[in-house]
Amino acid sequence: MRHYGLLLGCLTLTHGDDAAPKIQASVHAPAVVEAAEFVVEELSKLSDSGVYETLTLAQIVSAQTQRGVFHENTFLTLELASPHFLSRNATERFEVIDMVRTDDKSRSFAIDTFPEMSEESIEEFSIRNVERRRALREQAFEELELDACAAGLCDDSDDAASYLERSSSSLLEELKDSSQYPDRRRRAQDALERRAKEDRMRHLVDLHARSSYELDQIASNENDFAVRRALAKQLLDERLALEDKKG
C-alpha cells in the first residue's frame, strides 16, 4: 500500500508539470469538487481489506490548478472522515493531486501519505471481504447449477431442493427477471408457493394454541405479519361463531 503511494508520488515528480504556475481555485468550483470526489472514490478502492471504503469527503480545505505539459493538475488539501483512523481522530487531512492527461483526458491521482487505519478495523474488514468473496463465489456456482438444471442436465429433485434453500428475496428477484429461463422462473414460483404454504401451516399451529384474547391482540397488531393477522382474525371469528351456536 505504501509502495503504491510512493510510486504515485514519483510519477508526479517526473511528468515535468512542476514548472507551470499554480493558480488558486475556489473549493466550491464544480471542477474542484469533481476532482475531490474522484480522488476519494478511487482512494476508497485501494485497500486490500476494504477499510478505505469508509473514507468520506468531509471538506475541501484548499485547491490550486495547474496546466502542465502532459496533465491538467488540481492540487487539493482534503479533510477525510472515517471512524477507523489509527489516530482515532474523526477526520484527517491529506495532500492529493488530481491529474487529467491533456491528450486522452484519462484521469489518475497521487497522494503524499495514505490514510493509516487501526489494526482491528483492518482485520475486521479483511474478514468481511473474505466472507463477501466466498458469498459471491457460492452465488456464481449456484447460478451455474441452476442454469444447468434449467437446461435439463440435473435431477429434478436436486433442482427443487436447491430452490427451496434460497431466500425468498432471491426467489422474488429471479421471478421478476424476464431474462431468466422460463423453467427457472417456474421453479422459483413453485418454491415461493411451497414456502408460503409452509409458513401458513406454522402460523396456524401456533395460533390454534393461543387464547381468544391473544388472537385478538395479534389480529389488531399492525406490526405483525399480514398473513398472521388475517389467520388470527379468521380463527377468532370461528371461535366466536362456535360460542354463539353453543349459546
Burial of 117 (0-12, 13-18, 19+ CB in 10 A): buried
Return the minimum-mean-pLDDT range out of 19-23, 38-42, 88-92: 19-23
Better pLDDT: 166 or 16: 166
| CB-CB contact of 40 with 55 (8 Å) | yes
C-alpha 247: how far from chain center: 60
> Mean of the pLDDT values across residues 55-84?
95
pLDDT for 100 beyond 70: yes
Which SS3 state, helix, strand or coil, does residue 200 take? helix
pLDDT for 16 beyond 90: no
pLDDT band at 63 (very low <50, low <70, confident <90, very high): very high
Strands in 68-90 per DSSP E: 71-81
Q: Is the whole model's pTM more than 0.85, yes or no?
A: no
What pLDDT, on a 0 to 100 scale, did the predictor assign at position 12? 43
What pLDDT, on a 0 to 100 scale, did the predictor assign at position 177? 59
Q: Which CATH architecture has domain 2-117?
A: Roll (3.10)
pLDDT for 27 beyond 70: yes
Residue matched to cell numbers 469508509: 54
What pLDDT, on a 0 to 100 scale, did the predictor assign at position 10? 39
CB neighbours of 181 closer than 8 A, spacing ≥ 6? Answer: 147, 150, 151
CB-facing half-sphere around the CA of 168: CA atoms within 13 A? 7
Cβ atoms within 10 A of the Cβ of 98, count? 25
What pLDDT, on a 0 to 100 scale, did the predictor assign at position 9? 44
Burial per residue of 48-80, b for 16 or more beta-carbon CB atoms within 10 angstroms, e otherwise:
ebbbbebbebbebeebbbbebeebbbbbbbbeb
pLDDT band at 38 (very low <50, low <70, confident <90, very high): very high
CB-facing half-sphere around the CA of 221: CA atoms within 13 A? 14
Better pLDDT: 231 or 156: 231
Distance CA 240, CA 226 (A): 21
> Mean of the pLDDT values across residues 74-90?
96
Domain ranges of the chain: 2-117, 118-196, 210-247
pLDDT, one tens digit per residue, over 154-177 is 555 444 555 555 555 665 565 555
Q: What is the mean pLDDT of the chain?
A: 79
> Mean of the pLDDT values across residues 1-9?
38
What pLDDT, on a 0 to 100 scale, did the predictor assign at position 155? 53
pLDDT band at 31 (very low <50, low <70, confident <90, very high): very high
Better pLDDT: 19 or 91: 91
